[in-house]
Amino acid sequence: MTKTALTTILLPASYLLGSVPSGYVIGRLKGIDIRQHGSGNPGTANVYRTLGAGPGILTFLADFLKGFLPAMIAMQFFYISSANDFSKGHWWIPVAAGGLAIAGHIWTPFLGFKGGKGVATAAGVFMALLPWPTAGAFVVFAIAVAITHHISVGSMSASVALPLLCYLMNKTDRLPFTIHPGDQLPFILMAVVVCAVIFCTHISNIRRILQGKELSFKHKGDGTANEKKN
């Protein structure tokens, strides 16, 4: 089977894997529909607040792997550094695989195209594509959450930091697991697009933050009526 044929399998498979609603499945295993609790979002933060640390961490890991696996497969088997022949391997394949996994998570057909906010899956994608900048974004996330106690603030801060770190940390290919300098621009542009998407999926969070109604990650329970409405 040619790489072109394999690519036609990889890309839809990336979307389908990304669309598996991990938080919803974990909630069902615990006997609830996570969409009826807290913010109604089937992502890590809502699962963590509603069901506790264990299910929350499990949701994060599952969502992370949904992005990491297709992007890593694309990088290992379909990416050829500085290739000019799209059919033999090119940056567009891991970018497309990662982007489709993120899209599947946010717009999952299994939940009426209303999924998570894309953060954990995007983290998995970029850990496969650009591990050093992504590790730096994790640090930014941790600092922002420690200061504000809001996972949403940490997520948005990390999404802003990621393209900046991609630019600053990938000017050289001397570090292990970095891509060729000539191929970095598409990955940096992808990080910018993903940042914009994550801000769009967090519009309700931004509104609640401005209103002083955003829940702390330490909050446990079903959330507030205002949060569900917004």
Domains in the chain: boundaries: 3-229
pTM of this structure: 0.89
The whole-angstrom separation of Cα 30 and Cα 41 is 16
Query: Would you call 144 exposed, middle or buried from its count of C-beta atoms within 10 A (0-12, 13-18, 19+)?
Result: buried
pLDDT(171) > 70 = no
Beta carbons within 8 Å of 196's beta carbon, 6+ residues apart: none
Average confidence score pLDDT of the chain: 88
**Which among 101, 105, 117 is positioned nearest to 45, based on CA atoms?**
117
Contact yes or no for 126/137 (Cβ under 8 A): yes
- Residue 224 — pLDDT band, cuts 50, 70, 90? very low
What is the mean pLDDT of the segment spanning 84-93?
A: 67
Q: Say what the pLDDT of residue 27 is.
A: 97
Q: Say what the pLDDT of residue 97 is.
A: 96
The whole-angstrom separation of Cα 181 and Cα 209 is 39
Q: Say what the pLDDT of residue 228 is.
A: 45
Structure confidence by residue, pLDDT tens digits, 156-168: 999 999 999 988 8
Contact yes or no for 213/230 (Cβ under 8 A): yes
- Residue 89 — pLDDT band, cuts 50, 70, 90? low
Between 78 and 147, where is the model more confident? 147
pLDDT(47) > 90 = yes
- Residue 7 — pLDDT band, cuts 50, 70, 90? confident
What is the mean pLDDT of the segment spanning 145-150?
A: 94
